[in-house]
Amino acid sequence: MSEETPAQMPFHEETSFELDRDQLESILLESQNISPSEKERLNTIIVDANLKISAEFADIVPPIPDSDIVKKFVFVDKDTMNELEDAWDPTSNLNLEYSDRANTTGRVFLYEGRFVIEVPATDDLWGNLTENNRNILVRKYKTEEKAKELVRRALDTNIIIHESTHLYQIPNADKKMYLLRETQAEWMTRKHVPHELRVSNPEFEKKADFYQWLVDKYGVKNAHECALTGNVENDTEIVSNIMSEFSEGAVKDLFPNLKNG
Ligand SMILES: [Zn+2]
């Protein structure tokens, strides 16, 4: 259990998920219009991700049942995503305050009952690939339809593992804890996305590498426990040591788009 004082923890950790879900659904009634088969496809990815994540964190936090975690994902289009981000009270969500919002495809709202809003990958993604990349994929997967499906699945899988990891993290208003949690989510994504579905870029790798360095230095259980709960049982020194690794230089390097605040 987290031991945050009220001063550090201005929001109710035990926010009723149902209540927020109702509010959310009234906002999204018209926007979440994905087909049942698309939802089914995404649910399969969520359940598969949850199996890996709950196993990784098994000795630290309880598993989120599959039937609960699929309900925590709300799929919207890009415009709705932007509207919701603008509408949300930024002081209630550190993720909003401290990240680059321009290209957001998924966002976890831990304080508002722990749910994820996500823009599922569309075929636009295919158009963004170079012709050379498209040709390679079509050759590999025989038809353009299958290649497109793979590209969409790859992006969805990466985002879902990242955001699901955040759902396991107990809300904590500390800024550096937020940074640690981002590196943990990237590390989890790199570790648990099947090789053929991995979507990577240097920025993601840098964060995953940093968390790996913390794992090597402090042990995987301590790093996970610190990132998930904000505490390491019987050893507060480890928490402050891990937090001190987020020096000004490291933060600038890992989060170049972070706003000052
Ligand atoms: Zn994140």
pLDDT digits (tens, 9 = 90+) for 83-104: 777 766 555 555 444 444 455 6
Q: Tokens 């040591």 appear where?
A: 241
Q: Tokens 């937090």 appear where?
A: 243
Q: How confident is the model at residue 113 (pLDDT cuts 50, 70, 90)?
A: low
Identify whether the C-beta of residue 171 lies closer than 8 Å to the C-beta of residue 111: yes
Number of residues in the chain: 261
Regarding beta strands 73-75 and 115-118, do their DSSP bridges make them parallel or antiparallel, or are they unpaired?
A: parallel
The alpha-carbon radius of gyration of the chain (Å, integer) is 18
Q: What tokens were used for 15?
A: 């926010």
**Cα 138 to averaged position of ligand 1 atoms, centre (Å):** 31
Q: Has residue 19 got a pLDDT over 80?
A: no
**Cα 136 to averaged position of ligand 1 atoms, centre (Å):** 30
**Cα 223 to averaged position of ligand 1 atoms, centre (Å):** 17
Q: What tokens were used for 219?
A: 């042990």
- Return phi, psi of residue 117, to 5°: -105, 130
Q: Specify the higher pLDDT residue, 52 or 68.
A: 52
**Cα 41 to averaged position of ligand 1 atoms, centre (Å):** 22
Measure the CA–CA gap between 84 and 27, rounded to whole angstroms. Answer: 9
* CA 137-140-143 angle, 5° bins: 75
**Cα 73 to averaged position of ligand 1 atoms, centre (Å):** 14
Query: Would you state the pLDDT for residue 124?
Result: 73
3-state secondary structure of 134: helix
pLDDT digits (tens, 9 = 90+) for 61-85: 999 999 989 988 888 877 777 777 7
Identify whether the C-beta of residue 114 lies closer than 8 Å to the C-beta of residue 121: no
Cα–Cα distance list, 261 to 62, 94, 106, 250 (Å): 33, 11, 22, 16
Query: Would you state the pLDDT for residue 33?
Result: 63
Identify whether the C-beta of residue 184 lies closer than 8 Å to the C-beta of residue 48: no
- Name the helix (H) or strand (E) containing 117: strand 115-118
- Name the helix (H) or strand (E) containing 106: strand 106-109
